[in-house]
Chain A
Amino acid sequence: MSDVASPGSKPGFSSDVMIQMTGVHKWFGEFHVLKDINLTVHKGERIVICGPSGSGKSTLIRCINRLEEHQKGRIVVDGTELTSDLKHIDTIRREVGIVFQQFNLFPHLTALENLSLALIWVRKMPKAKAEEIAMNYLDRVHIPEQAQKYPGQLSGGQQQRVAIARSLCMNPKIMMFDEPTSALDPEMIKEVLDVMVELAESGMTMIVVTHEMGFATAVANRVIFMDFGEIIEQNDPHNFFENPKSDRTKLFLSQILHH
């Protein structure tokens, strides 16, 4: 298995490479959150990132669409390098969707408006067309009947599916998920994971921060373990769970599999 993906490839050279992070560092003040992150994500790859709380998983994926700014190293997304150039940031945000742990739906807009808003204001689409596209995506996450409801009227699982649809309807090439099921009641986790599995089956490039090991085994090509801001280990799911190499990985796995 290609555990350390294509070590020789340079950023932007292979059209197959969707994300290339080279020597990325980030600090919050004095605190060194990300330490020398090197990561290559290929088209169609499905990567699961796990690790203890506070290890920098969220920060890592948030750097990819500039919700956080890295201070050292390079991040190239589909051939566009992330710099402070606003055009580049716009381009990259167009290609990368993100789903948050807390859903972050817009509470003053209906489910349908949550989806159509960016189509109208960013993609400059006619309202009717935007709503048609929005309806298609609500259909895809199996809640077309909730289109006219406000987020406050939906269950957690439904809200998270609207949030997924909101990202998807911008037609991104890469979807990132930051612990999408952690804020959900247990009985709602499945409906969200099901949608994510369907998305994976459709060939979407995905980076998923999650502790749902069942999902990782079923869907991921690669599992990455992070601790203290570093990528400690990465491997295909089978080898990752069966033969973890580092002691920290073993400790972490024993903790999450025993509760």
Chain B
Amino acid sequence: MAVVTGTGSDTRNPIARLWGNKKARSVIVQIVTMAVVFGVLALLYRNVVVNLAAIGKEFSFDFLNAPSAYDITFSPFIEYNSRSTHLRAAAVGILNTLLVASCGIVLATVMGFIMGVLRLSKNWLVNRTVYCFLEFTRNVPVLLHILFIHGLVVTQLPVPKQAMNFADSFFLTNRGFFFPAPVPEAGFWIVATVFAISVVFVIAFGRWAKKVQDETGRTYPVFWISTGAIVAATAVAFLAAGMPLSWEAPALKGFNFKGGVAIKPEFIALWLALSYYTSCFIAEIVRAGILAVSYGQTEAAYAVGLRPNRTLQLIIIPQALRVIVPPLASQYLNLTKNSSLAIAIGYMDVVATIGGISLMQTGKEMETMMIVMLTYLVFSLIIAGFMNWYNKKMALVER
């Protein structure tokens, strides 16, 4: 074997010598690969520009700064009106997608875990009821669920004038769900600060309790103490600062409610339908994950004296999570992508705004679609990145 040391003992030409060096070779290969990738991208770009030019269009994102000239009824995070730019419309759409996807992920996870555990119940009725619900829901397309729930909300709930009224503060109508908005007043920052400090304190307490256990073996009910500390500290601060929070209740003005927080029927329908549909898949994943931990593990834990709750915490859950998390992440991806069905009921997500109305008004198919695709791509990469990180952290060490 030729050892390349650069001492002049190698008589081959310089290129062959460079190729013989493992490190240099890998750098060369990477440079060439990058060059090819960028070359292909440049070619595609040129192709797009030339072909668009041939039908009299220009490839450019300048339209993003032009006024959008359309309304978006649901923009809970940023100011928007029809004089805002297309860029702002895109931002509203992206945030709305993010909102329904993250709310959906939370609810689907909670429902999925509950149903997954119920599916393992020894009670025949519970077990079968959940099973029937899961089978039915999973086998009907999610679009139908969305339309069904939307139809239910819009046709079955009363008009605002006859709203279902809960304590004059919560109103359920076919125009949405209205409830009081919290309005912080002078001195509210004290409460917020105390809350933040108590959270920091609780984190420190958790670390300290772990250390005490390592050193003396003493255990504390960390969860209850932590929860109690946060609630108590915040409540005391709230009272001491003179309750610096008021509520702006929604009130009927004309045909609809004004004030307070309004959750639109489109959001409710999309959120609920995506959540319970996805939760059915999550339930099966959770069930399989728990079943994957053999009963021998529980028995071994009992035999050394662990009680059932500790067994769950220390033995079953850590093992089940390894099985659950990877497919769980792909269900999160599915939910996020399925949220693009929002357009069917007029929920203004990224597809409906920049990929829908903006596209039709400007004719910028290529550009708007690139923005939409990039949005989903980024969401997907974030979820996939989390999944990889978790898998690496938790992977079982095998021979």
Q: Is the CB of A126 within 8 A of B217?
A: yes
Which of B219, B297, B397 is A150 in contact with, Cβ under 8 Å?
Answer: B397
For chain B, residues 241 to 297, give those with C-beta under 8 angstroms from any C-beta of chain A.
Answer: 294, 296-297
Q: Is the beta-carbon distance between A125 and B217 smaller than 8 angstroms?
A: yes
B303 touches A105 (CB 8 A): no
Q: Which of A133-169 contact B (CB under 8 A)?
A: 149-150, 152-153, 163, 166-167
Q: Which residue of A lies closest to B215 (CB)?
A: A126
Residues of A close to B216: CB separation below 8 A: 126
For residue A125, which residues in chain B have a CB less than 8 angstroms away from its CB? 217
Pairwise interchain contact B314-A117, C-beta atoms closer than 8 A:
yes
Pick from A98, A100, A127: contact of B214, CB under 8 Å? A127
Is A72 interfacial (CB-CB < 8 Å)? no
Interface size on A, residues (CB 8 A): 37
Q: Which residues of the partner chain A approach B300 to less than 8 Å between Cβ atoms?
A: 100, 104-106, 163, 166
Give every chain B residue within 8 A of A100 (Cβ-Cβ): 296, 299-300
In the complex, chain B residues 303-337 whose Cβ is within 8 Å of any chain A Cβ: 303-307, 310, 314-315, 318-319, 322
Evaluate contact between B310 and A121: CB separation under 8 angstroms: yes
Complex contact A129–B217 (CB within 8 A): yes
Asked whether B218 lies within 8 Å of A170 as measured between CB atoms, the reply is no
In the complex, B398 has a CB within 8 A of chain A:
yes
Can you list 28 A-B pairs, Cβ within 8 angstroms, ordered by A? A67-B299, A67-B302, A93-B302, A93-B303, A97-B304, A98-B303, A104-B294, A104-B296, A104-B297, A107-B319, A108-B318, A108-B319, A117-B304, A117-B306, A117-B314, A118-B305, A120-B213, A121-B310, A122-B304, A126-B217, A127-B217, A129-B217, A149-B397, A150-B397, A153-B398, A153-B399, A166-B304, A167-B303
With most chain B CB atoms within 10 A of its CB, the pick from A121, A127, A129 is: A121
Q: Is A102 an interface position by the 8 A CB rule?
A: yes
Nearest-Cβ distance from residue B171 to partner chain A, whole angstroms: 49
B15 within 8 A of A: no
Q: Smallest distance from the beta carbon of A162 to chain B beta carbons, Å? A: 11
Q: Which residue of A lies closest to B398 (CB)?
A: A152
Assess the B296–A126 pair: CB atoms within 8 A: no
Nearest chain A CB to B307 CB, angstrom units: 8
- With most chain A CB atoms within 10 A of its CB, the pick from B214, B304, B307, B318 is B304
Contact of B213 among A90, A106, A127, A167 (CB under 8 A): A127
| A-side contacts of B307, CB under 8 Å | 90
Asked if B132 is an interface residue, CB under 8 A from chain A, the answer is: no
Cα A121 to Cα B307 with chains together (Å): 10
Query: Are B217 and A118 in touch, CB under 8 angstroms?
Result: no
Residue of B nearest to A90 (CB): B305
Which residues of A from 69 to 127 have beta carbons under 8 Å from B?
90, 93-94, 96-98, 100, 102, 104-108, 117-118, 120-127
Contact B302 A124 (CB under 8 A): no
Question: Would B305 and A94 count as touching, CB distance under 8 A?
Answer: yes
Question: A251: CB under 8 A from chain B?
Answer: no
Mark B73-89 against chain A: 1 for CB-CB distance below 8 A, else 0: 00000000000000000
Whether a CB of chain B sits under 8 angstroms from the CB of A65 is yes
Residues of B within 8 A of A163 (CB): 300
A127 to chain B, nearest CB (A): 4
Nearest chain B CB to A120's CB is how many angstroms away?
Answer: 7
What per-residue 1/0 map shows which CB atoms of B205-216 lie under 8 Å from chain A?
A: 000000001111
CB distance from A99 to the nearest CB of B (A): 9
Shortest Cβ gap from B63 to chain A (Å): 54
Given known A106-B300, A117-B314, contact A122–B305 (CB-CB < 8 A): yes
Partner of B314, one of A66, A121, A166: A121
CB distance from A211 to the nearest CB of B (A): 21
Chain B contacts for A108, CB-based, 8 A:
318-319, 322, 396
Select one of B299, B306, B318 contacting A121, CB under 8 A: B306
B contact residues around A121 at 8 Å (CB): 219, 306, 310, 314
Q: Which of A205-256 contact B (CB under 8 A)?
A: none
Complex CA gap A170/B306 in Å reads 12
The answer to whether B303 touches A150 (Cβ under 8 A) is no
Identify the 3 closest CB pairs spanning chains A and B, nearest first.
Answer: A104-B300, A118-B304, A127-B214
